[in-house]
Amino acid sequence: MAKILFIQLNEYELHGLESLAGELKKRGHLVKLLVRYFEKKPLEKIEKFAPDIIGFPMVSSEREEALAWAKAIKSRFKSLIVLGGIDPTFFPEMIEHEAVDIVCRGEAERAMAGLLDALDRKEDYTGIENLWVKSQSLIHRNPMGPLVNDLSELAAPDKEIYYSAYRYFRNYPIKYFMASRGCPFSCSYCANQGLRELYPNQSSYLRLKTPSALLNEIKAVVQKYPVRTIGFNDDHFSHDLEWLSQFLPAYKKEVGIPFFCAGRIDRLSEDKVKALKQGGCYSLWYGLESANPEHRAQILGRKMSNQAIEAGMELLHRHGIITQSYNILNYPGESWEDALATLDYNLKLKNDFVVSSLFQPFPGTELARKAGAAERKKNGQPPPPVALNYFASSPFKQRDTAKIEKMHKFFIAGFRSRLIRRLLPALAKLPANPLFDIIFLVSFGLDYSRVHRLTYWETINYNIGHIRTTYLQRKARVPKN
């Protein structure tokens, strides 16, 4: 059997990694996880496990740190270094880095299982689909294989890699699950469109688990670990009424724990909202992004009318489901007046909660290409950097960026207070300062605890680590040679 150790550079439960771990364990391989923030002596753990492969699941904001880790440990261990996740998927040229042996693109279960199987049998692995492999002076750029159309072919996600190793995940009162893969829409700020373009069978990009399989995943967790709330992290949980009609009654009967989910507010119907409410949904999150319908359609690729949004809000409020909107600030073409209008439209809609993030030109997205990322990639350079935290700043600069970034810190407070809303034009003229960040963090934390049904202490306890690692300790955690 082959051994793989994953080094994770954030403190979130990654569904893709759980699925990959389950598939590898099903084939008899040994899998361990190292979440770098929780490890005082990570090098000792690596040495003791002696993995054949060290894998880095990574997003764009972790690129610099992941490569620094790879370089730091390459000289110490004989393990193959593999990069995977959304960033290597769209920039596999990272294979050229001195410390990187393999880049895995897209869905990893088949490719990584094939790699570990080949290592176990001492066979050649340079031709495996989805992998770019460095072999001596050659780089094998293999094509993408097909998607896993039938998710029941895969093993159940292995959540034990998190829960058995770290109390942080085990005791968190919210447990997260995924009912599907993919999204039927092509918003220009999201990577789903770019991911579909990579695969030869694009028509089946959205795939659902069977209701029974998902129920078994959930019950295996709630029977063993503390759970107060269930969160479904699907891009569009409310998409398929037939699936909801099968899953939700069984969920209500066999699990019965209140849950939140995300969905397209313009695609809701009376039957969908009624099924969600009866099944135990207490909150639905949706992407509003901008109050300007032309900007939503033409810039953000999110074609939904204000009339459809307002109809969806009416349905949710009538059935007693809490609403939370996501909003993007500083997207290309947005002005200060547009950003204010988005806040005001949230007030008009009477959302229960609001969240705003600052635009990031993520690799694989249409907006990133329009922002110049494609040209830089063509020249062999990585896409432009993205922020360590999309609540902190935006690397994309335009006329009103400085004012909009300051407004972002008061977006939640302005939604809650008419006085702060009136003061926003004056506040945006002040120099940026740490007090603005504190106001954002406090207002975000208060709303976060309410919408997630957490105590204030739980919110502080489980989120203070993200603040430390995101802002203060990221580079300090890279092991030294």
- Residue spans of the chain under pLDDT 70: 201-203, 372-390, 464-477, 480-481
Residue 122: name the closest of 285, 17, 258, 1 by CA. Answer: 1
- pLDDT at position 201: 65
Q: Is 198 found in the same domain as 244? A: yes
User: In angstroms, rounded to a whole number, what is the distance separating the alpha carbons of residues 102 and 127?
Assistant: 12
Residues 15 and 87 both lie in one domain? yes
Rounded CA-CA distance 104/85 in Å is 7
Specify if 261 maps to a domain.
yes
Same domain flag for 135 and 18: yes
Question: Residue 402 maps to which CATH number?
Answer: 3.20.20.70
Do residue 273 and residue 366 come from a single domain? yes
Q: Is the domain of 129 the same as that of 194?
A: no
Same domain, yes or no: 98 and 226: no
236 inside domain: yes
Q: Are residues 314 and 410 in the same domain?
A: yes
* Structural domains counted in the chain: 2
Please tell me the distance from the alpha carbon of residue 9 to that of residue 440, in angstroms, as a whole number.
24
Query: Is the domain of 285 the same as that of 338?
Result: yes
For residues 361 and 280, state if they share a domain.
Answer: yes
Residue 85 DSSP label: S
Q: Answer yes or no: is 156 within a domain.
A: no
Query: What CATH code is carried by the domain that includes residue 92?
Result: 3.40.50.280
**Tokens at 383, concatenated:** 């896409």
Question: What angle (nearest 5°) sits at the alpha carbon of residue 234, between those of residues 106 and 372?
Answer: 50
Q: Using the Cα atoms of residue 89, residue 47, residue 388 and residue 395 in order, give the sign of their dihedral.
A: negative
- Regarding whether 114 and 182 lie in a shared domain, the answer is no
Predicted pLDDT at 307: 97
Mark whether 204 and 88 lie in a shared domain.
no
Q: How many helices (DSSP H) and strands (DSSP E) are in the chain?
A: 21, 15
Phi, psi angles (nearest 5°) of residue 429: -85, -10
pLDDT of residue 375: 45
**Which residue segment(s) compose the domain that 257 sits in?**
174-453
The answer to whether residue 159 is domain-embedded is no
